[in-house]
Amino acid sequence: MSRVFIDGREGTTGLLIDERLRGREGMEILTLPDETRKDPKARRDALHAADFAVLCLPDGAARESAALAEGSNCRILDASTAHRTAPGWVYGFPELNAGQAALIAGADRLAVPGCHAVGYIALVSPLVQSGVLTPGAALACFSITGYTGGGKTLIATYEQNRQPGDMLCKPRPYALGLTHKHLPEMTRWSGLANPPVFTPILGDFDRGMLVTVPLVMDADALYRCLAAHYEDTAVAVRRGEDGTGLDPAAYRGRDDMEILVFGHDKQALLCARFDNLGKGSSGLAVQCLELMMG
């Protein structure tokens, strides 16, 4: 019987992970009552009683939980930003390279990727690994996402407080100061020396994500490189065709990812499409937990 403690299960990611794990054979979910769920001693006791802990917390609280777990046998998966580039933490994108799934399976400390970041890394890292892109390449990236990635407050704003005609009803670029919190991991795990010029865009839909990287390169060559990298994985690579548009929410409720390559011999658009709460959050955390459990 594996004991799993979800620290921060009251948030969007934690609730989805709890929902997906609860009732599974061979698994016990450890919980704390509301009055002690933020108490350091109670959290420490739960961490030391657990075989696995999934941290669904703000960065500071996630660092605190990791420290509270020291001296235990608990293996930690952190869904916050806190440890995604930290030494000693394994990055939780199994399809990153041929050996990453094995590293995840043996990890004691694992960082679950950010949603925008995993889409960008999925598009760019194989090109750097194969030499198609040099580490010094300067890239741009834009990403449209559903509002559930912003947590309970943003979800309530969209679903309860907005009025017809509000700015919330329109796509909204944000993080315009170019300091989005996913940039460090986008840089580290893409293999590039510099962060992309990154524009995230918030859409008026609950779940879904479409991450796009434009390149002045031959689209067919990029397709062949990406298709070879993701052969026999849960990431499907397809040659896209021009049409009436691309639905960013088409993978809502799914845990896999689709990569589409558009363009011609001089220019290309690389698009990663997935659910921001699936392959971009709770679904990816569960995938990594399953690898760690064997």
Q: What are phi and psi of 19, to 5 degrees?
A: -60, -40
- Give the pLDDT of residue 157: 80
Calculate the alpha carbon distances from 92 to 28, 66, 189, 290 in Å: 23, 17, 11, 12
Nearest-10 crossing angle of helices 12-21, 282-293: 40
Flag residues of the chain having pLDDT under 50. none
pLDDT digit string, tens, across residues 264-280: 999 999 999 999 999 99
Largest distance between two CA atoms of the chain: 61
Show the DSSP H helices in the chain as ranges.
12-21, 40-49, 59-68, 100-105, 115-129, 151-156, 183-190, 219-229, 282-293
Domains of the chain: 2-113+281-293 (3.40.50.720), 115-274 (3.30.360.10)
Nearest to 65 by CA among 50, 51, 52, 76: 76
Cβ atoms of residues 265 and 92 within 8 Å = no
Q: CA of 245: how far to CAs of 27, 80, 242, 254, in Å?
A: 43, 33, 8, 20
Answer yes or no: 115 catalytic: yes
Write the pLDDT tens digit of every residue in 17-68.
Answer: 999 998 888 899 998 888 998 899 999 999 999 999 999 999 999 999 999 9
* 68 contacts 40 by C-beta, under 8 angstroms: yes
Rounded to whole angstroms, the Cα distance separating 163 from 167 reads 9
Contact of 285 with 92, CB cutoff 8 Å:
yes
User: E strands, the chain, where?
Assistant: 2-7, 27-30, 52-55, 75-78, 90-91, 109-111, 140-145, 172-173, 197-202, 209-215, 235-239, 257-263, 268-274
Token pair of 255, please? 């845990």
Comparing CA positions, the residue from 290, 293, 274 lying closest to residue 114 is 274
Check residue 246 and give its pLDDT.
93
Residue pair 270/239 in contact (Cβ under 8 Å)? The answer is no
Candidates 74, 115, 141, 271; catalytic one: 115
Give the other-Cβ count within 10 Å of 219's Cβ. 20
Q: Say how far apart CA 196 and CA 191 lie, in whole Å.
A: 12
